[in-house]
Amino acid sequence: MTWNRKHLLDIQSLSAEEIFIVLDTARGFKAVGERAIKTVPALRGKTVVNLFIEPSTRTRISFELAAQRLTADVINFTAEASSLKKGETLKDTARNLEALNADIIIIRHSATGAPHFLSRFLNASVVNAGDGAHEHPTQALLDVFTIREKKGRIEGLNVTILGDILYSRVARSNIWALLKLGAKVTLCGPSTLVPRDFERLGCRITHDVREAIENADIINLLRIQHERQRKTMFPSIGEYASLFGLNRARLALTKPDVLIMHPGPINRGVEIDSSVADCSRSVILEQVTNGLAVRMAVLFLVNGGKGPQEIRA
Amino acid sequence: MFKRTLLLDASDIQRALARMAHEIAERNPASANVVLVGIQRGGVHLARRLSTLLKDVWGHDVTVGALDVNMHRDDLNHRVPPQIHPTSIPFDVTEKNVILVDDVLFSGRTTRAAMDALNDFGRPRAIQLAVLVDRGHRELPIKADFVGKNVPTSLQERINVALNEEDGEDAVHLERQ
Q: pLDDT by residue (tens digit) across A84-98?
A: 777 889 999 999 999
Every domain of chain A and the residues it spans: 16-136+291-304, 137-288
Predicted confidence band at B86 (pLDDT cuts at 50, 70, 90)? confident
User: Is pLDDT of A79 > 80?
Assistant: no
Subunit contact A304:B72, Cβ cutoff 8 A: no
CB distance from B156 to chain A under 8 Å? Answer: no
Given A7, A46, A69, A108, the catalytic residue: A108
d(CA A167, CA A151): 28
Chain segment A167-181, per-residue pLDDT in tens: 899 999 999 999 999
Report the range out of A55-59, B66-70, B81-85 with the highest average pLDDT: B66-70
Per-residue pLDDT, A56: 86
Q: Which of A96-100, A306-310, B22-26, B120-124 shows the lowest mean pLDDT across its residues?
A: A306-310
User: What ranges in chain B are assigned the alpha helix state H?
Assistant: 10-27, 42-58, 109-119, 164-167
Q: For B84, which residue in chain A has the nearest alpha carbon?
A: A25
- The DSSP element (H or E) to which A275 belongs, if any, is helix A274-277
d(CA A170, CA A40): 29
Per-residue pLDDT, A81: 67
Predicted confidence band at A232 (pLDDT cuts at 50, 70, 90)? confident
Predicted confidence band at A306 (pLDDT cuts at 50, 70, 90)? low
Per-residue pLDDT, A235: 82
Chain segment A240-252, per-residue pLDDT in tens: 999 999 999 999 9
- Show Cβ contacts of residue A227 under 8 Å, excluding neighbours closer than 6 positions: none
Given A44, A58, A91, A226, the catalytic residue: A58
Q: For B86, which residue in chain A has the nearest alpha carbon?
A: A28
CB distance from B91 to chain A under 8 Å? Answer: no
Best CA proximity match to A295, nearest among A126, A66, A50, A10: A66
* Domain A16-136+291-304 is found in CATH 3.20.20.60: no
To test the contact with chain A by mutation, choose from B77, B83, B88 the residue with the greatest count of A C-beta atoms within 10 A, namely: B77
Per-residue pLDDT, A311: 33
Per-residue pLDDT, A72: 97
Mean pLDDT of chain A: 92
Query: In whole angstroms, how far apart are CA B89 and each of A35, A280, B44?
Result: 10, 29, 12
Residue A294 CA to its chain's centroid (Å)? 10
- Show Cβ contacts of residue B66 under 8 Å, excluding neighbours closer than 6 positions: B37, B38, B40, B44, B47, B85, B86, B87, B88, B89
More confident residue, A167 or B1: A167
Q: What is residue B29's DSSP assignment? A: S
Q: A104-109 and A125-131: which strand pairing?
A: parallel
Looking at beta carbons, which residues of chain B come within 8 Å of A32? 71, 87
Subunit contact B76:A25, Cβ cutoff 8 A: no
Per-residue pLDDT, A20: 97
d(CA A178, CA A143): 9
Looking at beta carbons, which residues of chain A come within 8 Å of B71? 28-29, 32, 40-42, 70, 300
DSSP string covering A5-61, please?
-S-B--STT--HHHHHHHHHHHHHHHHHTTSSS----TTTT-EEEEEESS--SHHHH
Kindly calculate the radius of gyration of chain B based on its CA atoms and give it in whole angstroms: 16
What is the ipTM for the molecules in this complex?
Answer: 0.78
d(CA A243, CA A150): 29
Subunit contact A303:B81, Cβ cutoff 8 A: yes
User: Is pLDDT of A278 > 50?
Assistant: yes
Q: A73-78 and A47-52: which strand pairing?
A: parallel
Closest partner residue to B81 among A40, A305, A309, by Cβ? A305
Q: Is residue A58 annotated as part of the catalytic site, yes or no?
A: yes
- Do A42 and A300 contact (CB within 8 A), yes or no? yes
CB distance from B75 to chain A under 8 Å? Answer: no
Looking at beta carbons, which residues of chain B come within 8 Å of A149? none
Amino acid at A90: L
Amino acid at B131: V
Q: Is residue A86 annotated as part of the catalytic site, yes or no?
A: yes
Taken in order of first residue, the domains within chain B and their CATH numbers are: 10-71+85-152 (3.40.50.2020)
Subunit contact B81:A309, Cβ cutoff 8 A: no
A residues 13-32 lying closer than 8 A (beta carbon) to B? 21, 24-25, 27-29, 31-32
Q: In this complex, how many residue pairs, one in chain A and one in chain B, have their CB atoms less than 8 Å apart? A: 70
Per-residue pLDDT, B29: 96
d(CA A261, CA A142): 11
Q: Is residue A59 annotated as part of the catalytic site, yes or no?
A: yes
CB distance from B77 to chain A under 8 Å? Answer: yes
- Do B8 and B171 contact (CB within 8 A), yes or no? yes
Given A86, A120, A196, A230, the catalytic residue: A86
In CATH terms, the fold of domain A137-288 is: Rossmann fold (3.40.50)
% residues pLDDT > 90 (chain B): 86
Q: What is the mean pLDDT of residues A201-220?
A: 96
Per-residue pLDDT, A312: 30
Beta bridge partners of B134: B105, B150
How many other CB atoms are found less than 10 A from the CB of residue B84? 24
